[in-house]
Each structure stands twice: as structure tokens, then as C-alpha cells.
Structure 1
């Protein structure tokens, strides 16, 4: 497997480390030479000079495939982290001159990643084509952990975050509704009472999901604890939950904004529940100790603009 990180290089990085990361990522002096547009002897010379400089061997060349030594594994980890920091420094320096370029790393909750963010990111990258965007999806706990450990620049979540080191900024308002398959007994009903949920198979997101926490809290407010429900399945994927509801395996709560197509096509039906209103904020997550800078700051300002434009389009 090739090392994708070896393709992005800070101009501030020591060239020997660039060559080292390429060789480690490609597991080949020849392929690293091709990647860097160097001759193979030049690559070999750079690695030998680096090994002499730090006085430890970095590769085991016994056999056809080269492998990293224990020292090589350690250096590779820090070389990748160092290059990433330098790329971020370059992005912040460029931002001082009004330029928006370089890496931007996001961790995003599932529903936001699948249904809310993609068109906005398309517009963002058309405005700032030099940004190198990397996005991963996770549940709320996973996003919070990624922001805390510094592996991403900013997070976007669907639920509350219980980490005092992190700051939440409300971005968009979302509503969760009860949905059933089109052939379900409740399809087409004007509303149901909360008590009717007790005997019905219910599909829920996994614990640790922001959606799950919000649904549990809202149900408790109308007198339904989790133990009162017939929880048929807990799913760690929003898409899987939706597919199971469509297949008639149970009823579930889902973002209304994310099921517009299914409601329009009639594969799902929304069923109001008397007294139950489940609203939630989609929020930015950043470190409380430091304001977002560089590309992260540019993205957040852009997304605030998008939220404002969306609110203006809504009928009064």
C-alpha cells in the first residue's frame, strides 16, 4: 500500500525527510525515485546520508522488499507529523496574505457528512480550489476524540459533546422525526400517542451517537425510558438504520432534512407523535483553548455564510 502522505510535501521540510517518507511509503527505492522525479542512486544517497546523520539504520534491505526498522518506524511517525504541521503553518502564513491553500482536515458526524455538507463543500472548493480537503466520518464521540487529539482541524457534530476542553458553536437547526415503511400499519396516521411506541420494534443508533443521546432524552421527556421500548436493533450507521426502516424491520427516528427524497417517493412515511418534538443543533467543534486559524477559520466562516443563506430562503 502506498503512503498518501508522501505525496504532500511542505516546502519547509528537510529534503532528506521527504525522500525518507517517499521510500517508506512506497516500500521501494525505485518507486520513490519515480515519485520524486529523481534517479534511484540519488534516492539511495539521500537515505544513506540520513542514516549516517542520525547514526541508526532506517531500512532492512535483506530481501526484495525493503522494510522499516524499529528506528525507521519511529522516525516515519514523527516525519509525517512534522510535515503535517509545516503544511498547516504554510496555510496560515498564506492566509495572512489573503491566500487559501494547503491541507484542511475534518471529522464529521454521519448525517452531516452524508446529507448536509457535500454540496457546501463543493461550493467551498470551487471558491478555494487550492485547499487539500481530507474528511472522515464518525459518531459524535469519535469526532470529539479527533479534535482533542489534534488529528483534525475542526469537527462537525449532530449531538452534545461532554468534553470541557472543547467548544461547541451551533450552526444549523435540524429536526428528528419518526419514520415508518410505506406499508406499515402507522403509515398515513395523523399522529400516534407516545405509549404506542412501547410494543413496536424500534431501531436506534448506537450508544455514543449524538442522535441516540438526543432521541433518548426526548423520549424520556414524554415518559418513555429506553427500557420501556422494544429496541429491535442498534445500528452504527445512519444509512443502515434508514434501509432497515424501509425494509419494515421496525420504526426509527431520522433527520427530516435527510429523508426528503424518500418522503417524496413514498418509500417512507413520517408519523407525528403527540407531544414529541426532537430538535437538535448541528454544531462546529473546536478546541476551547485556541481559536481556529488558517484554512479551518476560512471554512467556518464560509459555513456560517451558507447557514445564513439557508435561513433566508426559508419561508417566514
Structure 2
């Protein structure tokens, strides 16, 4: 619904390149140049300073007129997107952009099946997904870079609100060759005698595990932290390589348990439960495609 010339103009302004804008719009570079020249004639002003033309490697910059027009073109695009959502709502349709953020474990192990089913049901939704640790996703929500986040630990900020999506359990995994693989269960204090693989600082999984260990009298300083890793997959790989033991989401180990490359070992008196939670900006309501996804994911996660 957006004016085509303004869409081309915004693409060039965002990429600061006629070539890259052409690639993102699936147009030829001459077609992009033609649209910009026609828009400049319509506006009666140059929108870009072009140092050496419009070819590959050319440096361009917005003129003052270009900066003014970009401000209004961006507002116009947002208004037309709202109009499209409002029109779709009249027919109970879900269309438009869905800007979603998800922490690493959720993005890798929980979301794929949910998103596949959601996009099949709502094919006119355009998804963009940002992944990172919990701290990074909460920051993206607070800065409004995503409309809705899903995190695996506490938000640790007052400017966002959380709501449970699904319950998760963190389990201790070891190599099948480890001495604990056939013991049945261990005592918490046994953890002080083995190399431990942990997620990096800022990870929701790291916070949950640290808190659970502290509750059974095992502050981090009393443990042998062998490595700090930036993903659940890295911890699983480290355990498979017999570099240590580690706590990971039960959601993440179904495949490796079937393959027999790791074993789950219960820890007496430790049950590490947590929520995968939706996170949104405080004082706002989730609307449009984000609201539709939240409803869909809440129902789907319980059945996976």
C-alpha cells in the first residue's frame, strides 16, 4: 500500500547504496536510479549527494531535503502499515510485519516448530527474528527494536513486563563415559569436584543455574568452572567431548538423548524449573501480528 517511489527512496536511504537498495527490492540498479530521479523531479530538490555517480562503491549521502523527506516517508510507511492491519482486522486476517526477539535456547529449540505452524496459518505475515541472550533480548524490547520478546530467565529490568509462555526444566547432563552416567543420582556437593560448563554472563540460563546452586549451598566460587560458553549447543558439545558437565534445558536434549551421546543425571534436592516468558515494553499492550503470535504460541507450546 506504500507509494512505490517512497519505498525505493527509503531503501536507498537505509542502505546508502543504489546497488544494495536494488538487491533488497529485487530491482535493477537503473530502475532504482530512475525512480529516485523521478521523485527528485516531483519534489523539486536533490535528495542525495552522489560523489562520482550511482555505480558500485559510490559514496552517497542524504541532502537536507532528503533528510526531511525521509522523516515523512517513514511516518507514511508506518501509517499505511497500521491501515493494512486495521483493514485486515475487519476480516479477521493477520498481516504485516512481526518483529520478534528470542533468547538463544528458545530460538534454537522451541520456536522453529511454532513459527512454522504460525506462518503456515498466517502466510501474509513477514517475520524478522533477532536472537541473543536474555539480557540482549530484553534490551531490544526496551529499545523497541522488537515488538515482542521470548526469554529464558528473569528480565532484571523495570521497564519491561513478562508473561509465561511455557514451563521449562534445566537438567544436568554428562558424557555416557562419565562416572555418574550409571549412578542414578548424585548429591549437590558432588558438583564441586568436577569441571562445570556454564553459559556466559547475561544468559538467562546462567542466572537460573547460579540461583539454584546457591540455594543448595554451592555458590559459584566453590565450583570448578571450566568454561563459559555462548550457547546451549556449545555446552552439549562440550559434554559430549568430555570437557565437563553442564546444566541445559530439557527442550534441548531430546535428540542427543536418543543418539545416546549424553545422559541426564538427577541431583538430589535440586529441581531447576523456570519459565520461558514473553517480554514486552511496560505500559503497552501487544497488538497486531505480535498479539496474534503470542496467542498462537501460548496454545502451541503446551502441545509440543
TM bucket normalised to smaller: 0.7 to 0.9
Corresponding residue of 1:306: 300
Give 3-state SS (helix, strand or coil) of 2:157's partner: coil
Answer yes or no: is the 8 Å Cα contact 2:105–2:231 preserved in 1: no
Q: In angstroms, what is the RMSD of aligned CA positions?
A: 2.9
Corresponding residue of 1:149: 143
Corresponding residue of 1:196: 190
Does residue 96 (structure 1) correspond to residue 89 (structure 2)? The answer is: yes
Corresponding residue of 1:120: 114
Give 3-state SS (helix, strand or coil) of 1:160's partner: coil
Does residue 59 (structure 1) correspond to residue 53 (structure 2)? The answer is: no
Answer yes or no: is the 8 Å Cα contact 1:112–1:157 preserved in 2: yes
Answer yes or no: is the 8 Å Cα contact 2:18–2:55 preserved in 1: no
How much does 1:22 deviate?
4.0
TM-score normalised by L of structure 2: 0.87
Note the 1:90-239 alignment, pairs <5 A: 90-97=83-90, 98-239=92-233
Residue among 85, 103, 108 paired with 2:78: 85
Corresponding residue of 2:9: 20
Residue among 235, 241, 264 paired with 2:258: 264
Answer yes or no: is the 8 Å Cα contact 1:205–1:238 preserved in 2: yes
CA distance in 2, matches of 1:175, 1:251: 16
Give structure 2 stretches of 5+ with no counterpart: none
CA distance in 2, matches of 1:159, 1:80: 38
How much does 1:49 deviate?
3.0
CA distance in 1, matches of 2:59, 2:43: 15
Residue among 246, 251, 261 paired with 2:245: 251
CA distance in 2, matches of 1:136, 1:40: 29
How much does 1:88 deviate?
4.3
Give structure 1 stretches of 5+ with no counterpart: 1-10, 311-316
Give 3-state SS (helix, strand or coil) of 2:253's partner: helix
TM-score normalised by L of structure 1: 0.84
Give 3-state SS (helix, strand or coil) of 2:180's partner: coil
Q: How many residues align?
A: 298
Corresponding residue of 2:34: 42
Give 3-state SS (helix, strand or coil) of 2:280's partner: strand
How much does 1:94 deviate?
3.4
Residue among 230, 235, 242 paired with 1:241: 235
Residue among 61, 65, 68 paired with 2:60: 68
**Between 218-227 and 285-294, the greater mean CA deviation after superposition:** 285-294
**Between 301-310 and 32-41, the greater mean CA deviation after superposition:** 32-41
Distance 1:91 1:180, change over 3 A: farther
